[in-house]
Amino acid sequence: MGQGWGERFRVASDAQLGLAWYTREGWARLRELADDRNVLDDSFEDWERRALAAIRELESVGRQVHKVPVDIDALVAWCREHRRALDSAARAEYASGLLQGGDAQLSSRPE
């Protein structure tokens, strides 16, 4: 049996956990645009099945996971603005920013 989420990641017990959440159409668009499309699940159904399994695994150890709806156009704009590749690291940072404070956390404002 493979490692579980708890064995792979050390996360503070009070940290909010979020998972980027896509619509069927958003997933198809992400697959077209992502720089790391080769590591993405081939279908929305495969992605959704794995995402729900991850949520169940985390919830089984007492963690609450928030589904963070991702608008692909907004994600693409954020990546451009921050000169980031559209990859898993950028998607995770974007979703984390949305979870922590919404759009205000995501925009870069010159001081």
Give the angle 76-81-82 at the CA atoms, nearest 5°.
Answer: 100
User: What integer pLDDT is reported at residue 100 of this predicted model?
Assistant: 87
Tens of pLDDT along the chain (111 residues) come to 344 444 445 555 566 788 999 999 999 999 999 999 999 999 999 999 999 999 999 999 998 999 999 999 999 999 999 999 999 999 999 999 999 886 534 544 333
Which amino acid, 45?
E
Dihedral sign from CA coordinates of 3, 8, 13, 19: negative
| SS3 label, residue 93 | helix
Q: Quick one: CA torsion of 16, 22, 104, 5, rounded to 10 degrees?
A: 20
User: What integer pLDDT is reported at residue 1 of this predicted model?
Assistant: 35
**Count of all residues that appear for the chain in the document:** 111
